[in-house]
């Protein structure tokens, strides 16, 4: 729906002519930076158009509807925001415990329980659903202890969610978790693609670099925080309860009474590309730290946050107890990445078509879906779909 074009046939319901200009832009940055009350009012006006069967939405074919209505199959999706910065967190205790065991570490690092851990990624390689992911090159260990550039053989996905900053946080200032929601525009599905062999060869002692830098994909539709709240996705947190994010710290700056519940499911499609197989499901509320705490901690140094900055939640993996909440069939399908699911390649997974999944192969397609709420108040995030294509040779 082209709401800007609709305004030519019907006076804008909002007393803000500048809004029509903002909606004519190719990204939502300026709209996201508007005061929250105005954005919320705009959403309500859209809902009224949908509920009113005499509105332009339901004009007869051949009427003005042909001007502003774009068939879904004809719409080409693109990145919803101009992304200035991308930061990725690591906030799932199950993910940290499992990857730590696989790496030979005995205990979860103490700092995990003190703050949301994160690293600064690359905004330049954030892509939208439907864009292919080319298998990356990287420096790999070879026989006799040498290293050389080669195509990654251990390509992986990571199931995450991403949140976009709305109102900016100016340099030198910080935002407490209790009011962080005032700076969150909305959420998308996020896949943090990872080349494990490249990543683990390079990350000591400084951290991940090229093994994480080649692609991060997101779904094209931003589901606003208002929309999530309307579905009941905003859930209270309590110490020792099912949802602890927000109440898991004695640091007043990070305390927050709310968390978010969004179920995210991952699938793989192989060979014919027509069928898909369930890999896992998890819930955003299963993270140890909430999105509100992530944004607050990010701001605490005074670095400043810009409208359109993207923050990834980190891999969504659930404990066995948490997975039991999701219903039958998810007990063994609760890992948000292959590294956990196949135990670093030592426990390959046999798929329904008879093939074996250890790491992603060329031609594989990974699909993420997300839902919040329930029954008549459920809201979907659409799909995040990307296919793996062969490596591009490095120039000589």
Q: Which residues are catalytic?
A: 95
> Is 160 assigned a ligand-binding role in the annotation?
yes
d(CA 132, CA 130): 6
> Is 216 assigned a ligand-binding role in the annotation?
yes
DSSP annotation string for 330-379:
-TT---SBHHHHTTTTTS-EE-TTS-EESS--TT-EEEEEEEES-GGG-E
> Is 66 assigned a ligand-binding role in the annotation?
no
> Is 249 assigned a ligand-binding role in the annotation?
no
Distances (CA, A) of 101 to 107, 184, 208, 344: 8, 34, 18, 10
Contacts of 321 (CB under 8 A, 6+ apart): none
- Residue in 58, 41, 40 with CA at minimum distance from that of residue 1: 58
d(CA 113, CA 152): 33
> Is 82 assigned a ligand-binding role in the annotation?
no
- Which residues, in sequence order, are bridge partners of residue 383? 369
**β-strand 86-90 against 310-312: which pairing, if any?**
parallel
Record the tokens describing residue 269, joined without a space.
């499609």
> Is 331 assigned a ligand-binding role in the annotation?
no
> Is 88 assigned a ligand-binding role in the annotation?
yes
> Is 74 assigned a ligand-binding role in the annotation?
no
Contacts of 391 (CB under 8 A, 6+ apart): 134, 135, 136, 137, 151, 152
d(CA 280, CA 168): 35
Contacts of 274 (CB under 8 A, 6+ apart): none
**β-strand 216-218 against 126-128: which pairing, if any?**
parallel
Residue 298 and residue 309 in contact, taking contact as beta carbons nearer than 8 Å: no
d(CA 117, CA 341): 22
**Residues tagged in the binding site annotation for Ca(2+):** 88, 158, 160, 192
**Residues tagged in the binding site annotation:** 88, 158, 160, 192, 199, 212, 216, 315
**Residues tagged in the binding site annotation for substrate:** 199, 315
């Amino acid at each position: 729906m082209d709401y800007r074009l609709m305004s030519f046939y019907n006076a804008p319901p909002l007393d803000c002519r500048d809004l029509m200009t903002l909606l004519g832009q190719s990204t939502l940055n300026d709209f996201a930076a508007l005061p929250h009350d105005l954005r919320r009012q705009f959403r309500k006006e859209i809902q009224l158009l949908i509920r009113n069967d005499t509105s332009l939405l339901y004009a007869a074919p051949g009427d003005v509807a042909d001007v502003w209505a774009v068939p879904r199959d004809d719409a080409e999706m693109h990145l919803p925001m101009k992304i200035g910065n991308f930061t990725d967190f690591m906030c799932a205790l199950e993910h940290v415990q499992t990857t730590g065991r696989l790496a030979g570490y005995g205990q979860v690092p103490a700092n995990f329980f003190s703050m949301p851990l994160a690293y600064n990624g690359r905004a330049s390689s954030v892509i939208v659903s439907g864009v292919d992911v080319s298998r990356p090159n990287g420096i790999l260990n070879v026989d006799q202890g040498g290293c050389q550039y080669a195509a990654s053989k251990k390509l992986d996905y990571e199931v995450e969610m991403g949140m976009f900053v709305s109102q900016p946080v100016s340099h030198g200032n910080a935002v407490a978790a209790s009011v962080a929601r005032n700076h969150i525009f909305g959420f998308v599905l996020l896949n943090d693609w990872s080349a494990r062999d490249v990543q683990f060869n390079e990350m000591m002692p400084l951290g991940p670099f090229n093994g994480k830098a080649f692609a991060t994909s997101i779904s094209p539709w931003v589901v606003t925080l208002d929309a999530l709240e309307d579905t009941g996705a905003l859930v209270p947190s309590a110490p020792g309860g099912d949802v602890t994010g927000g109440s898991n710290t004695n640091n007043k700056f990070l305390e927050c009474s709310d968390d978010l519940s969004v179920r995210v499911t991952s699938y793989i499609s192989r060979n014919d590309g027509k069928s898909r197989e369930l890999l896992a499901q998890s819930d955003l509320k299963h993270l140890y730290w909430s999105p509100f705490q992530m944004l607050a901690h990010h701001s605490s140094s005074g670095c400043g946050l810009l409208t359109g900055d993207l923050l990834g939640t980190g891999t969504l993996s659930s404990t066995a107890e948490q997975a039991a909440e999701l219903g039958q069939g998810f007990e063994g399908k609760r890992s948000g990445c292959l590294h956990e699911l196949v135990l670093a390649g030592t426990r390959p997974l046999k798929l329904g078509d008879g093939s074996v999944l250890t790491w992603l192969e060329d031609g594989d397609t990974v699909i993420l879906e997300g839902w919040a709420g329930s029954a008549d108040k459920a809201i979907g995030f659409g799909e995040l779909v990307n296919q793996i294509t062969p490596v591009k040779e490095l120039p000589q």
